[in-house]
Structure 1
Amino acid sequence: MGSPRLLFLSAICILIVQAIAQPQFLYNFCLDKGNYTRNSTYQANLNDLLSSLTSNTKIDYGFYNKSYGQNPDKVYALGLCRGDVKPEVCRSCLNNATNLLPLLCPYQKEAIGWYDYCMLRYSFRNIFGIKEDSPTFYMWNTNNVSANVNQFKQDLRTLLDRKRGQAAAGGSLRKFAVGNATAPNFQTLYALMQCTPDLSELDCNNASTPSPSPSPPLAPSLSPPLTNTSAAKGAAVDEISSVESLQLDFVTIKIATDNFSDANKLGQGGFGAVYKGMLSNGQVIAVKRLSKESGQGDLEFKNEVVLVAKLQHRNLVRLLGFCLERKERLLIYEFVPNASLDHFIFDPIRRTHLDWTIRYKIIGGIARGLLYLHEDSRLRIIHRDLKASNVLLDSEMNPKISDFGMARLFALDQSEGNTSRIVGTYGYMAPEYVMHGQFSVKSDVFSFGVLVLEIVSGQKNSCFRNGENIEDLRSFAWKNWKDGTTSNLVDPTLKDVSTTEIMRCIHIGLLCVQENVADRPTMASIVLMLSSYSMTLPIPSKPAFFMHSNTESNIFLQLENDSRGLSLINRKAALSKPQ
């Protein structure tokens, strides 16, 4: 179990290999305990505090606690590293954390994040010397103990109690203990216990610990390394696929939607209709009822359930349950009241309600949601169908990425995949995916870039209107950027706005839709670009499918373009270039 004051390792039996720190958080929480505004005193204090947290290079025991500013804008931060890492590794880990955590939790006064080697927390309230058991997260080893279970539990408990006492007895610089024991069948149990050293011996000793079990909870950041073994990948996959508890019966959903009445119908998607409903406890839900004729079969249905069930991020739609009964396949999501982005951004009347502040918030939220999928969730996920209609807007116009039916799950060390089945929506798909079936996180980056240009212009990518002419949005944006006339791309309903932010977003959008995959930025870089104006942006090259693209043009692609996306008829094909 991980907690703000406790880093704890329960015992496991594994091979010992070299641990490699991961660039993304194992887990992070953005706590809803208060917000600050852009350019406020609190933000300035937070930035100053985090930038100087590890500045004292004389600290070699892995614990930093510091405050900055005056009330009510005073900020407190603490950083704790594993007791067995070198000082330079500790500082590097915490520096990464201080850069990333504010980007993932923008304008929130309290946040916490865990890496393999360190933990960072900051708050508007004094958090020094105080034992707190929340927020917490659990990860575990899925290896089972099938024999001598009681003896295993007893040996485990003895080891944990001994290490907890040793850690608590540590001094004011480090409260840390490691050890091992031999369990039945000559299994080796490893344990690590650590508290922040500003806690008292009593508080550290009383820190909550999980009850041992045949599959004990595991904090893999503190274990003899599990992340580079096949066991680690198996553990993560097993965890994310355990969704039986989310299954609801068909009758319950039928009653909730008034027998799927037209009055409750919210819309029609590529795989079926979406209905509004209300459960018996009063909770409002959205029900995606897959049509029997849809392209999404049991495989895609299971894929969406498995992927979305464990995703927890403010910019991703939350799956509440599912139903697989007889021939019915239903997905039950949280209800998002403002429908999808395309209902606003492409409507000449509704888009006037989206001022630049809202649009910029939507762009940033989508970026953070994709960053979570690509780097910060426990498994790397590529959406493959990011578009305006798959971005929902809540009551405060915060974006939530939805529709994971086409998503693909990657191992953390896997960079790209290949498929012979091309699915998606014309205009949003990257060229390497359309032509060769190759997809990666950069495929989602391409789609994000198209979406950014649509949000700025208020027009669809495939039918951008330039006076009486209709041309491709990417080509129009590129030509105007080269000519220094990017203001021609901006939605005319946007008045009295920050042209600097708009021009920067156009620049970022063009970086995302570059033809060369390697030239496109990662979502981590994009989030940083959106939040740091001091960061110099590289010069974009021409977008894919531009009039003078290097992409092959002498072969033909027959496309079936319907609400379900594209079907590739001829694999030796390329999209025709925009004229």
Structure 2
Amino acid sequence: MGTIVMHFLLLLLSGPIWILQLSDVVVDARFLLEPPISSPSFAPYPPFMASIQAFSPGIAEGGSKHPMFSARKFVIAFLTILGVIIVLFFLLFWLLCRKKIKKSKDDDGFHSSDGLKGLALSQFVGKYNSLSKSSQKRAVAVMEFKKLEVATNNFRESEILGQGGFGCVYKAQFDDKSYGAVKRLDGGSQDAKKEFETEVALLNKIQHPNIITLLGYCIHEETKMLVYELMESGSLDSQLHGTSHGAALTWHIRMKIALDAARGLEYLHEHCNPPVIHRDLKSSNILLDSNLNAKLSDFGLAIQDGLQNRNNIKLSGTLGYVAPEYLLDGKLTDKSDVYAFGVVLLELLLGRRPVEKLAQAQCQSIVTWAMPQLTDRSKLPTIVDPVIRDTMDLKHLYQVAAVAVLCVQPEPSYRPLITDVLHSLIPLVPMELGGTLRLAHKNPSALQNSQ
């Protein structure tokens, strides 16, 4: 299209010249057919001389001028220029209309009935278009505020599933009898807005069995809402540290949860392009469905590795899970996620919180407390969560403890890649739960009970 416009501009600039030349030749040719008004010795001059004469009237031979012909040439030139200008105007108008229509189509699907209030989500989604080479996930739906009000019983307190830094999560039942979880973000702070945009943009392009599915979102005045698939068993944090104290989590179930989390993290680090750093991996962001399958959630703090200056990223995360190099020096890498995974693995092993209060204004991290005992085979079995104590093969316990120790190393370069962690956990999880461990060889009844 740019070439066509250039041609029209050239035509506009050169048009009057060749129109005048051509008309001049035609007019002078007609003039030559008329009887000469001067002496009989008058000799017709070549056509190109007429062109020169048209631009240099002062040197015309014979000194004769014809106002009627000059006026006709002027009218022809004027009409030609006017026609070119009109055509060029309509061409530019058509190009602008096409551009506007294309932009409107690109942004379609990111405008709710409540209006986005100037929030151009398509700009953020566009940054993640090439996130995964194999992702074919459709765009998340825009949901109406009133429908979410009805689905959550007007955001009744009895429907609250949990509470985060920017708002509550509500259980929702929709018209088709399906269920979801609605995270309501109240207020218009810049941090809340940025996390909302990041999560919509990222989860719009990610599809993996161990990463939460975003069903839709809604923007209503200053309130923003994210709608996820419902995870019936809540979070790993509530299962481990809630009223049941991990009673439903057997040794093999805990290993399966660790394996699921590692698979989700490996997808972010190794299979997304560019890689994604979760930056807030913790037990409360690992959700469990009715079969205790684990999925990573809460991607508001996630960043794409390599697309941003990580030295300028605001320090964010949860105390007890933040890697020391990120906490002290602001250095963020995928090994920061590996450290947080190691803390989660220690929670599964020991049943303790990542940070525990010892006395007033004094706290102790699970890493500081456990590290001296994890490498002592005589002490390790005694510090395991009482719920699973003496229920596992000690060899497997030592292997998992060794993996956890490597993950929480102070020096990032000493920590393994999440892919290595994944491969070390697969042999410890029964085949029925997604690993390669064959229970039937040692305990045939265990296989029957798992089916």
* Same fold (TM > 0.5): yes
**C-alpha separation between the residues in 1 aligned to 2:414 and 2:329?**
18
* 1:297 maps to amino acid: A
Task: Work out whether 1:265 is the aligned partner of 2:157.
Answer: no
**C-alpha separation between the residues in 2 aligned to 1:279 and 1:333?**
12
1:456 to 334, 349, 369: 349
- What's the counterpart of residue 38 of structure 2? none
* 1:488 maps to amino acid: T
- What's the counterpart of residue 328 of structure 2? 435
Q: Which has the higher strand share?
A: 1
Task: Mark the CA change 1:243 to 1:302 in structure 2 (over 3 Å): closer, same or farther.
Answer: farther
**What whole-Å deviation, never above 9, does each CA across 1:99-125 have from its counterpart, x for those lacking one?**
xxxxxxxxxxxxxxxxxxxxxxxxxxx
1:352 to 247, 250, 275: 247
- What's the counterpart of residue 193 of structure 2? 298
**What whole-Å deviation, never above 9, does each CA across 1:237-295 have from its counterpart, x for those lacking one?**
69999986521121221121121111211121112100011222222010000021767
- Unaligned 5+ runs, structure 2: 1-94, 96-125, 429-451
Aligned runs of 1:270-281 on 2, under 5 Å?
A: 270-281=165-176
- What's the counterpart of residue 28 of structure 1? none
Task: Mark the CA change 1:384 to 1:233 in structure 2 (over 3 Å): closer, same or farther.
Answer: closer
Task: Mark the CA change 1:383 to 1:369 in structure 2 (over 3 Å): closer, same or farther.
Answer: same
- What's the counterpart of residue 417 of structure 1? 310
Q: Which has the higher helix share?
A: 2
- What's the counterpart of residue 246 of structure 1? 141
Task: Work out whether 1:493 is the aligned partner of 2:391.
Answer: no
**C-alpha separation between the residues in 1 aligned to 2:128 and 2:215?**
24
- What's the counterpart of residue 332 of structure 1? 227
2:262 to 367, 387, 390: 367
1:401 to 285, 290, 296: 296
**C-alpha separation between the residues in 1 aligned to 2:271 and 2:302?**
16
Contact kept in structure 1, 2:260 and 2:293, CA below 8 Å: yes
Contact kept in structure 2, 1:380 and 1:409, CA below 8 Å: yes
SS for the counterpart of 1:497 is: coil
Contact kept in structure 2, 1:415 and 1:440, CA below 8 Å: no
Task: Work out whether 1:520 is the aligned partner of 2:415.
Answer: yes
Q: CA RMSD in A?
A: 3.0
- What's the counterpart of residue 383 of structure 1? 278
Contact kept in structure 1, 2:182 and 2:226, CA below 8 Å: yes
1:236 to 107, 116, 130: 130
Contact kept in structure 2, 1:387 and 1:428, CA below 8 Å: yes
Count of residues in correspondence between the two structures:
299
**C-alpha separation between the residues in 2 aligned to 1:435 and 1:241?**
39
1:472 CA drift (Å): 3.1
Contact kept in structure 2, 1:336 and 1:392, CA below 8 Å: yes
* 1:374 maps to amino acid: H
TM-score (structure 2 length as normaliser): 0.61
SS for the counterpart of 2:369 is: helix
Contact kept in structure 1, 2:182 and 2:228, CA below 8 Å: yes
* 2:318 maps to amino acid: T
SS for the counterpart of 1:352 is: coil
1:417 CA drift (Å): 2.4
Task: Work out whether 1:321 is the aligned partner of 2:216.
Answer: yes
Task: Mark the CA change 1:481 to 1:258 in structure 2 (over 3 Å): closer, same or farther.
Answer: closer
- Unaligned 5+ runs, structure 1: 1-145, 147-231, 534-579
**C-alpha separation between the residues in 1 aligned to 2:219 and 2:380?**
50
Contact kept in structure 2, 1:271 and 1:295, CA below 8 Å: no
**C-alpha separation between the residues in 2 aligned to 1:482 and 1:453?**
13
* 1:503 maps to amino acid: Y
**C-alpha separation between the residues in 1 aligned to 2:394 and 2:204?**
40
Contact kept in structure 1, 2:142 and 2:218, CA below 8 Å: yes
1:457 CA drift (Å): 0.3
Aligned runs of 1:173-184 on 2, under 5 Å?
A: none
- What's the counterpart of residue 3 of structure 1? none
Contact kept in structure 2, 1:365 and 1:399, CA below 8 Å: yes
**C-alpha separation between the residues in 2 aligned to 1:331 and 1:351?**
29
**C-alpha separation between the residues in 2 aligned to 1:371 and 1:476?**
28
> Which is higher, the Rg of structure 1 or of structure 2?
2
Task: Mark the CA change 1:238 to 1:446 in structure 2 (over 3 Å): closer, same or farther.
Answer: closer
- What's the counterpart of residue 151 of structure 2? 256
Task: Mark the CA change 1:351 to 1:422 in structure 2 (over 3 Å): closer, same or farther.
Answer: same
Contact kept in structure 1, 2:141 and 2:215, CA below 8 Å: yes
SS for the counterpart of 1:297 is: helix
Task: Mark the CA change 1:416 to 1:371 in structure 2 (over 3 Å): closer, same or farther.
Answer: farther
